[in-house]
Amino acid sequence: MSIVVTAATGALGRLVVDELLERVPAERVAVVVRDREKAADLAGRGVEVRVADYDDPAALAAAFRAGDRVLLISGNEIGRRVAQHTAVLKAAQAAGVAQFAYTGVLGGPGADFELAAEHTATEQAVLDSGIPYTFLRNGWYHENYTRELPGVLERGAVVASSGEGRVASAARADYAAAAAEVLTGEGHLNRAYELSGDTAWSLTEYAAEVSAQAGKEIAYAEVPAQEHLEILTGAGVPEGFAAIIVDVDAAIGRGRLAGTSGDLARLIGRPTTPVSEAIAAALA
């Protein structure tokens, strides 16, 4: 039996593998990747590399073994993810895996924004399959905001259309630690975890923290949704993805990413990483 992580060369996947290797011997860990070369460093650490693509059912059929514990990290090709995820699910079910964990979105079926729709459909497919599951409903990552800090510092403002909605974000590493816990621990089958940071913050508060740490006045520039869309597309963001960003901001304004269930801190056995630490790391 192996613990198998898909999309393991991605930002979240690598962190999950790092966490697993802190907990179990490398020979118990396997990864499913599209490009073997990108996983060469993982192979060098003793991890088994299995090559398969979410769009290749034949390759996926050979990617899993009976008794494996599998983490499906959701794909990033919006609009294609339900078919891709279902292909992985069918391969895992046919192999007889012991656990099928999936990284969805905070709120599960109650998440009423466009980006959540494919996650909801995937969760339903998992439930319909009867496979032993664990749903990791990840909230927003600090990195969704801190990766934009160079532009924020240049223009002196955080631009968004989420009003004073609050975001209970956490570090990507926190979510990775939670995934490793449910893959190596017991008592997590057929459960859904609402994962988010311990504290929800507003963009006004975020801008103030960036100001304090950067030593430069940063404002929160709230704009209407249509103007936000035009700003994003004007900056080169594809219109379809820009629309999703604006739709998520509207959901933030409705409080959909503000939940603080405490599940994440309980799983990782410590407080979640404060956004102030993520800002400091990004500025450094």
The residues that bridge with 30 in the sheet, in sequence order, are 4, 48
Mean pLDDT, rounded, for 184-207: 98
In the chain, what are the domain boundaries? Answer: 3-139+171-195+259-268
CA angle, residues 227, 81, 33, in degrees to nearest 5: 120
CA angle, residues 121, 31, 78, in degrees to nearest 5: 30
- Please determine, for residue 6, whether its predicted confidence score (pLDDT) is greater than 90: yes
Token pair 């590493």 in the structure block, residue: 173
Q: What is the dihedral of CA 194, 199, 200, 201, to 10 degrees?
A: -150
Mean pLDDT, rounded, for 19-26: 98
Residue 1's pLDDT band, with cuts at 50, 70 and 90, is: confident
Taking the C-alpha atoms of residue 182 and residue 193, their distance in angstroms, rounded to an integer, is 10
- Please determine, for residue 32, whether its predicted confidence score (pLDDT) is greater than 90: yes
Q: Of the candidates 172, 167, 165, which has an alpha carbon nearest to the alpha carbon of residue 136?
A: 172
Handedness of CA 34, 35, 41, 47 (dihedral sign): positive
Is 62:4 a contact under the CB 8 Å cutoff? no
- Please determine, for residue 153, whether its predicted confidence score (pLDDT) is greater than 90: yes
Taking only the tens place, the pLDDT of each residue in 248-263 is 999 999 999 999 999 9
Rounded mean pLDDT of the chain? 97
CB burial of residue 27 (10 Å; 0-12, 13-18, 19+): exposed
% pLDDT > 90, the chain: 98
Mean pLDDT, rounded, for 117-121: 97
Pairing of strands 191-195, 133-138: parallel
Residue 116's pLDDT band, with cuts at 50, 70 and 90, is: very high
Mean pLDDT, rounded, for 124-149: 97
3-state helix, strand, coil in the chain (%, to 5): 50, 15, 35
Taking the C-alpha atoms of residue 228 and residue 172, their distance in angstroms, rounded to an integer, is 26
pLDDT in the model for residue 121: 97
Q: Of the candidates 133, 19, 136, which has an alpha carbon nearest to the alpha carbon of residue 69?
A: 133
CATH topology (fold) of 3-139+171-195+259-268:
Rossmann fold (3.40.50)
